[in-house]
Amino acid sequence: MNRVYNFSAGPSMLPVPVLEKAAAEMLCYGNSGMSVMEMSHRSPDYEAIITDAEKLLRQLMNIPDNYKVLFLQGGASTQFAAVPLNLIGRTGKADYVVSGQFSGKAFKEAQKLGFDVVCAATSKEDNFTHIPTLTRDMFRPDAAYVHVCYNNTIYGTKYAAVPDTGDIPLVADMSSCILSEPVDVSRFAVIYAGAQKNMAPAGLTVVIVREDMLGYAKEEMPTMLDWKVMADNGSMYNTPPCYCIYIAKLVYEWILSLGGLEAMEKINRKKADTLYNYLDSQNYYVAPVLKDSRSMMNVTFVTGDPDLDKKFAAEASAAGFKNIKGHRSVGGMRASIYNAMPQEGVEKLVEFMKAFAAANPKT
């Protein structure tokens, strides 16, 4: 069996040790006589799995005791509505920073609900090639929260530091960078993330919410979107995404076995430096993102010729570098080098890039 190097932005590759352990436990988990996919979520075996998953995530991220960890469904996109529905009742207002497609969608979702939301800053005029410069005075002092997308999967940008919002609660979509490096959870009121990039298969969404942010939802709030209901029921108001949570638990164990998020960051920075250093050393490919806004997880580049970009993506796929084509709204190429991507995969991609440039000179 030959595994390819999967550079997909999500669902993304999972660590081989995790896949191997899941395969070994597919027919029978422990002494249960069944697969995790077949278990009742109310069974002692499964309750131990979800309890351990939360404990491991708290350990990995050093989550303070006054935060709830929720394992939910619906993807991060469902949280685009859940965030304002849960929080805007605090003051009736919210500010958004639009730094890419998903933060733009979150902003539009809050607008659609009829709330008083404003775009406090955006880099749209520069085609989202950088994170907007933010200062505390850009936000309304009576805003219920400020929303950011911490890493922009499509455009390959990331916040270099936690935005200073003063006393205004900060909400962050961390779908494409969660668990890639340490983060001070206490700087955020809410962190949410779809799991299919760095944590588990598609189908699981993690919400980490400070307890004082709960209880502001209106009575007519859809129950499935109410964080307090989910927190009060231990993420099991209904059947949770059981198997995804089990895989997430295995991923948490894998990261801890490597040394935790500090070790993970070193591994990821080496991969990103390998690719960015090559891009900065030549003039065949162009990395459009400004250096102070570069993502460690999603590296975008173009040749400047759409036909060459198309040829590159096709030949890369044939050579075993899958899903390298950039998002349809941007074009070019994108290498998503999440936690499970080995250093070898990045090094071999650079070798392919050099060979392609030599074989396809620009006219």
pLDDT band at 1 (very low <50, low <70, confident <90, very high): low
pLDDT tens figures, 299-310: 999 999 999 999
Q: What is residue 2's predicted lDDT score, i.e. its pLDDT?
A: 84
Domains of the chain: 16-256 (3.40.640.10), 259-359 (3.90.1150.10)
Residue 172 has a pLDDT of: 98
pLDDT of residue 326: 92
Tell me what the mean pLDDT of segment 40-44 comes to: 96
Are residues 220 and 201 in contact, defined by beta-carbon separation less than 8 angstroms? Answer: no
With bands split at pLDDT 50, 70 and 90, how would you rate the model's confidence at 331? confident
> pTM of the entire structure?
0.97
Can you tell me the distance from the alpha carbon of 56 to that of 107, in angstroms, rounded to the nearest whole number?
32
Question: What average pLDDT does this structure show over 67-91?
Answer: 97
Average pLDDT of the segment spanning 71-82: 97
d(CA 301, CA 304): 9
The confidence score (pLDDT) of residue 194 equals: 98
Per-residue model confidence (pLDDT) at position 328: 81
Tell me, what's the pLDDT at 264? 98
359, containing H or E segment: helix 343-359
| pLDDT-above-70 percentage for the chain | 100
Supply the pLDDT for residue 329: 76
In total, the chain counts a number of residues equal to 363
pLDDT (mean) for 303-328: 95
> What is the model's pLDDT at position 288?
95
Query: Alpha-carbon distance 335 to 305, whole Å?
Result: 18
Average pLDDT of every residue of the chain: 96
How many whole angstroms separate alpha carbon 305 and alpha carbon 292? 25
Burial of residue 201 (CB within 10 Å: 0-12, 13-18, 19+) is middle
Identify whether the C-beta of residue 9 lies closer than 8 Å to the C-beta of residue 177.
Answer: no
Q: CA 356, CA 48: separation in Å to the nearest integer?
A: 50
pLDDT score, position 330: 83
Determine the pLDDT at residue 220: 87
Nearest-angstrom CA–CA distance, 232 and 77: 23
Q: Where are the alpha helices (DSSP H) in the chain?
A: 16-24, 44-61, 75-87, 101-112, 227-232, 242-258, 260-280, 306-318, 343-359
